[in-house]
Amino acid sequence: MELPFLKKKRVEVPEKIFEEETITAVDIIAPSSIEVGQNNLRFGERLARSFFVFSFPRYIGSGWFSPLVNLETPLDISIFINPAETEVILRQLRKKVTEVQSEIIEREEKGLVRDPALDTAYRDLEALRDKLMSAQERMFKFAIYVTIYGDSEQELKTIENNLRQIFESRLIYLKPALFRQKEGFISTSPYGLDLIQVYTPMNTGPLSSCFPFISFDLSSNEGILYGLNLHNNSLILFDRFSLENANSVVFGKAGGGKSYAVKLEILRLLMQGVDVIIIDPENEYEFLSDAVGGSYFKISLTSPHHLNPFDLPIPREDERPEDVLRSNIINLVGLLRIMLGGLTPEEDAIIDRALTETYAAKDITPESDFSKIEPPLMKDLESVLDNMEGAESLVRRVRKFTKGTFASFFNQYSNVKMDGSFINFAIRDMEEELKQIAMFIILRFIWNTVRSKLKKRILVVDEAWWLMQSEDGASFLYGTAKRARKYWLGVTTITQDVNDFMKSGYGQPIVANSALQLLMKQSPATIDVVKKTFNLTDEEKYLLLESSVGEGLFFAGQKHVAIKVVASYGEDQLITTTPEEVLKIQKAKKELAKEKE
């Protein structure tokens, strides 16, 4: 008899057709298989082998680790440094000293020949005990692990032989982590885990020699971070003021990261107390100026900020007033050549004499106190020329800058004070035909200020090809770069138009007088000029053609390296020039301002 309540209820399960598990990022990244062997790991078709260092010599020279870091082979290196308790180490040293001393005495009693190794060990132990007791040294447990990679056993063997040559030439010995390859791989991965734990006791002195990033193209003891070495991911640290001069040139096509790299350098130099002055043709540095509390001067025909071309610098103690006055007149002749569209030899002589008389009319002579004078204006030069024979054409051309629209900028007394740590002269709103003249006047004004007071500064001349268009502008920029070191100034010259820059007879000398050089991504139209100027190899040429934004070549003197410019998030928010990022930042600022209201 079938009881209804004992019947099993059939549950219908819907058939899942073509159901697959979701593929995650882990599935994409992970190898198809992992095989753990006694002396290697196999990740799909790739092999890995891990080693540990187990023996060091008595003395280790500084930089012994550098050849391994610069080895042109993919490898992972982990360094573990764990402090040891001084009291424990002293007890162990006391015991060891007693053992060594007993052995020395025993050999003496037996009449055996002195053992130099025992004597040396005794002296080293005693010296280390003294330094530990006086806190001059500390003891650490030190471990180095290395993992190499290859496509075959033969390739692994070749790389292993290279490793052994590097280490054993310095009497340092390593072993493969037999039956512990998994632990070795994890120990060299970025987990911060030491699963091998093969330590060597080491005091502070030899431990400091293990710092890996010391090769010439990587870093110096002082300076700022310029970026990462693309060859080995080490840091590029330099103090431009420690080189033969503090000048730099930055070449690269639009969008290659020139301005970003220079802004990053400016930001980091400001934190070290270096003053920064910028000639900014495109108003690119306005946001940075606001962020650091700098002085921002918009220069245009309608601007309230004026610069008088006739200003005179105050002579330093080692300068003669007559030399300062004469040099200023020579520079003014060059400026007027640009302003007046060129001068004939006769007009050149007239202008030179007229400028001397213009200063004399204001009672400005080599005997005058330049700190108490009132310099002349452009209209004073016009008055002098008006009374000179043969200057009719000059008067007509000068009058354009003393009357009408142009006079609002060129015929005014200076009212700009350069007393901040960040000064920016923005000339985007200046008429195109006057930009070159404005840059020349600003550069002369800056130079006069720099000469008057010795201070650590850098001067950034962006889009320098504007000045290089005329012989006099290029000559003045070159003279500034050449004499900058005397006044503790570093001139940074930036341009994207390499052809126009190098066509000038002063282009190559400016490059030659710049100890730091940064080449960013180049266009095929200019790469041959760049290659010839900087004597690049074919590989370096293709690197500049194919490099990503923010990558290039960094030169320091005769040494150079591939670089990637890197910034923190906070720095990036201050210096970014990407339009979409700038719009986001501006939008965020407006929203924040509304919230405050």
pLDDT reported for residue 12: 58
Element holding 124 (H helix, E strand): helix 116-133
Q: Report the relative pairing of strands 422-426 and 275-280 from DSSP bridges.
A: parallel
CA angle 258, 261, 263 (to 5 degrees): 105
At which residue do the structure tokens 């341009």 appear? 495
Q: What does residue 204 show for φ and ψ, rounded to 5 degrees?
A: -60, -45
The single-letter code of the amino acid at 418 is M
What is the signed CA dihedral for 556, 558, 564, 569, rounded to 10 degrees? -10
pLDDT for 596 equals 66
pLDDT of residue 248: 92
pTM for the full model?
0.64
Q: In 3-state terms, what secondary structure has residue 258?
A: helix
Angle (nearest 5°) at CA 507 between 502 and 513: 140
- CA atoms within 13 Å, Cβ hemisphere of 469: 18
The whole-number pLDDT of residue 1 equals 47
Angle at 329 between CA 396 and CA 400, to 5 degrees: 20
Q: What is the pLDDT of residue 20?
A: 62
Distance between CA atoms of 285 and 279, rounded to whole angstroms? 9
Q: Which of 272, 228, 215 is nearest to 457 (CA)?
A: 272
pLDDT tens, the chain, 597 aa long: 455 555 555 555 555 555 566 777 777 778 888 899 998 999 988 999 999 999 888 777 767 777 787 777 888 999 999 888 877 878 887 888 888 888 888 888 887 777 787 778 778 778 877 777 777 788 888 999 999 999 999 999 999 998 998 888 888 899 999 999 999 999 999 898 999 999 888 887 778 777 766 544 556 667 888 988 887 677 888 888 888 889 999 998 888 888 899 999 999 999 999 999 999 988 888 888 888 889 999 988 888 888 998 988 888 777 788 888 888 888 889 888 888 888 888 988 999 899 989 988 888 887 777 778 888 999 999 899 988 888 888 888 888 888 877 888 888 888 888 888 999 999 988 888 888 888 889 998 998 888 888 889 999 999 888 888 888 888 888 988 988 888 899 999 998 878 778 888 888 889 888 988 999 988 888 888 888 888 887 878 888 888 888 899 998 876 778 889 999 888 888 887 666 666 776 677 677 667 766
- String of DSSP letters for 375-430: ---HHHHHHHHHTSTT-HHHHHHHHTTTSSTTHHHHTS-------SSEEEEE-TTS
488: nearest Cα among 509, 510, 458: 458
- In our burial notation (b when 16+ CB lie closer than 10 A, e otherwise), range 423-457 reads bbbbbeebeeebbbbbbbbbbbbbbbbbbbeeeeb
pLDDT the model gives residue 88? 81
Number of Cβ atoms within 10 Å of the Cβ of 508: 14
Structure tokens at 404: 């009408």
Whole-number pLDDT of residue 547? 85
In this structure, which amino acid lies at residue 351?
A: I
Could you give the 3-state DSSP secondary structure of residue 236? strand
Those residues with Cβ within 8 angstroms of residue 51's Cβ, 6 or more apart along the chain or in another chain: 145, 146, 147, 148, 160, 163, 174, 175, 176, 177, 184
For the beta carbon of residue 317, count every other beta carbon within 10 angstroms: 4
Q: Tokens 């740590």 identify what position?
A: 421
Q: Which position has the token pair 């990503």? A: 548
